[in-house]
Amino acid sequence: MEIKAIRGFNDILPDEVGKWQFVEEVAREVFEGFGFSEIRIPILERTELFSRGIGEATDIVEKEMYTFTDKSGNSLTLRPEATASMARAYLEHQIYSFDPVAKLYCIGPMFRYERPQKGRYRQFYQIDAEVFGVGNPMVDAEVILMLIHFLKRVGLEKLELQINSLGCRDCRPLYRGELKKFLTEKSFQLCEDCQRRLHTNPLRIFDCKVETCKEAIADAPQVINFICNECQGHFNQVKGYLEAAGLGYVLNPRMVRGLDYYTRTAFEVVSYQLGSQNAVTGGGRYDNLFQEIGGLDIPGIGFAIGMERLVSLLPKDKAFVRYPHLFIAAMGEETIKEAYRIINQLHLQGIRVELDYEGKSLKSQMRRADKLKAQYVLILGREELKRGKAILRNMESKLQEEIPISDILNVVREKVKGVEQGNRDC
Ligand code: AMP
């Protein structure tokens, strides 16, 4: 029987991968421009990191983690998100001793045992950016600004920035109590999961998709009306900085985010092109996370962008695939050898070159060049070779010119530069 991939685990095929590379390149460029450095963290961590960091009573920890016991009896988990691991690395390697402020980003796969559907997978990729060590609201605005800047550079439109404040350790329990009181009276309307959430983590009920739960929570008290003066002051400053940067936002008092560690600023960027899974990215401040995993009082803020959802929003007409710059059509043993010599020189110059491996006719080599979408074809025939010449054909305009073999490197380099420049400009 043919072996297939596991449900919810996707292959990203070569004709798709150009988009992924493009997104990753833009992320690296934009984030590094804002002073962020890449960090690479393991895919597997001790289960405790997530149960303590994300919170026992979250959907992720309760039912979505890929957890198993290894041969030494340790409980390990495939990372469901990157923030807790990045925070662990910051503590473990005492990155704070060099500079308490660390701006880090990470790109890679995450794993959650969710019910697969369009836009929701069991292995999915995230781009994460985090700032550790600063509680100043200016950083909240800066992180949001960087995110929007990145999304615009990638080419996304029809985006909406939604923000909320979730309060802190001091004021959130008050809100939690009020919410619980309100929902207890409506508990008969709640689904089985939410009946349980009512006692463990009532804020999660905002995320429930069951119709009766949505109705029950529609008029619930809102966290923003319960936050303390410090949190209100922080939120006002975040809004002030966003306005100073000219960034539009929408207040969404119902946004509570799925993870327990968020405090104060929470934000999401939603797209109206995606149907029900419309959150491209979300993030927020988490000033308690470090205490949960390492006992230190270090503030943090960051976001995670879902790559699959982002890639699905990219403009369809943009060419992300890197086609060959040049196809060399050569016939006969002698010319093929000459072609091979030229190809090696071109490769060293970073020019993408293809050729035929099967000694086919010129006609079928031209067909292959067309199929591969090569921009130019260099035709090397026995006759031309004798005269030290080759024919260069522009596959788009169909114009041909004869060029000396000794000039190939220069001519092709110049033409390719022109094409690359054109691609960047469009
Ligand atoms: P979260 O870590 O839950 O805050 O999610 C951050 C972003 O990751 C979301 O806005 C989604 O774009 C993406 N994401 C989360 N879960 C999944 C999933 N199961 N499949 C695909 N993308 C996801």
DSSP three-state, residue 330: strand
Instruction: Give the burial class of 180: count Cβ atoms within 10 A of its Cβ; 0-12 exposed, 13-18 middle, 19 or more buried.
Output: middle
Instruction: Kindly give the distance from the C-alpha atom of residue 120 to the centroid of ligand 1, in angstroms, as a whole number.
Output: 7
- Tokens 């923000």: give the residue: 163
- Tokens 């491209």: give the residue: 280
Question: Can you say how many angstroms the Cα of residue 225 is from the centroid of all Cα atoms in its chain?
Answer: 33
Rounded CA-CA distance 106/65 in Å is: 20
Instruction: Kindly give the distance from the C-alpha atom of residue 179 to the centroid of ligand 1, in angstroms, as a whole number.
Output: 26
The pTM for the full model equals 0.87
Ligand 1 atom index nearest CA of 114: 19
Instruction: Kindly give the distance from the C-alpha atom of residue 304 to the centroid of ligand 1, in angstroms, as a whole number.
Output: 8
Question: Ligand 1: residues within 6 Å at CB?
Answer: 81, 112, 114, 120-121, 124, 126, 258, 279-282, 304, 306, 308-309
Cβ neighbours, 10 Å, residue 332? 13
CA-nearest residue for atom 3, ligand 1, is 258
> What are the pLDDT tens digits along the chain (426 aa)?
899 999 999 999 988 999 999 999 999 999 999 999 999 999 999 999 999 988 887 888 888 999 999 999 999 999 999 999 999 999 999 999 989 999 999 999 999 999 999 889 999 999 999 999 999 999 999 999 999 999 999 988 788 999 999 999 899 889 989 999 999 998 889 999 899 888 888 888 888 888 999 899 988 999 999 999 999 999 999 999 999 999 999 999 988 876 667 899 999 998 876 555 567 888 999 988 898 888 788 999 999 999 998 998 887 767 688 889 999 999 888 888 889 999 999 999 899 999 888 888 999 999 999 999 999 999 998 888 889 999 999 999 999 999 999 999 999 988 887 655 544 433
Instruction: Kindly give the distance from the C-alpha atom of residue 306 to the centroid of ligand 1, in angstroms, as a whole number.
Output: 5
Instruction: Kindly give the distance from the C-alpha atom of residue 45 to the centroid of ligand 1, in angstroms, as a whole number.
Output: 19
CA-nearest residue for atom 17, ligand 1, is 120
How many residues make up the chain in this entry?
A: 426
CA-based diameter of the chain, in Å?
93
Query: Which of 78, 126, 311 has most ligand 1 atoms within 8 Å of CB, for mutation?
Result: 126
Instruction: Kindly give the distance from the C-alpha atom of residue 411 to the centroid of ligand 1, in angstroms, as a whole number.
Output: 47
**Which pLDDT does position 204 carry in this prediction?**
84
Provide the β-strand partners of residue 353. Answer: 326
CA-nearest residue for atom 21, ligand 1, is 120
Q: Which two tokens stand for residue 32?
A: 């590094």
CA-nearest residue for atom 8, ligand 1, is 306
Question: Can you say how many angstroms the Cα of residue 99 is from the centroid of all Cα atoms in its chain?
Answer: 27
**Which pLDDT does position 276 carry in this prediction?**
56
Q: Is the dihedral of CA 379, 380, 385, 388 positive or negative?
A: positive
- Tokens 């008029």: give the residue: 219
**Which pLDDT does position 105 carry in this prediction?**
98
Query: Which of 60, 110, 269 has most ligand 1 atoms within 8 Å of CB, for mutation?
Result: 110
